[in-house]
Amino acid sequence: MKVSECMTQDVRIVDPGETLQDAARTMAEIDAGFLPVGKNDRLVGIITDRDIAIRAVATGRSSNAKIGDVMSQEVRYCYADDTVEDILDNMAQQQLRRLPVVDRDKRLVGIVSITDLATNGEAAHSGEALCEIARPSGLHSQAI
């Protein structure tokens, strides 16, 4: 199965020039903790609720600080034509619960989560991947 067959295609994108309050409001509206950050039709980063809490609130930044100042710029992603098996292995290895999905021109076309994969016929492999994702590793630095 290809990632394009199980990814979420209706994705909200925020601009790096928007504020953290804008990002938090969007997350609340769509009940998500992860937003892709895009500029000129290109994926330039991601912002998570954890980024806002650790990199912004905990360091005293204003809710008017820009998303671009807090977002993660080194984005791991997958391609829409990648196989689900490869993505699950990748997610487990890198301890990621979700990945932006891009086309071969690197335009954002969706998001794939461990839940998307588990509910689309990959439950056994998803369970193995989730065990690896949940394993503490110390790799997830919140430094900017």
Max CA-CA distance within the chain?
45
Q: Which residues have C-beta within 8 Å of that of residue 47, sequence separation ≥ 6?
A: 14, 20, 23, 34, 35, 37, 67, 70, 71, 72
Q: Which domain holds residue 67?
A: 3-134
For 66-83, the pLDDT digits (tens) are 999 999 999 999 999 999
For 44-56, the pLDDT digits (tens) are 999 999 999 999 9
Query: What is the pTM for the complete model shown?
Result: 0.79
For 81-104, the pLDDT digits (tens) are 999 888 888 888 888 889 999 998
Specify if 105 maps to a domain.
yes
SS3 assignment, position 134 = helix
Q: Tally the domains of the chain.
A: 1
CATH number at residue 23: 3.10.580.10
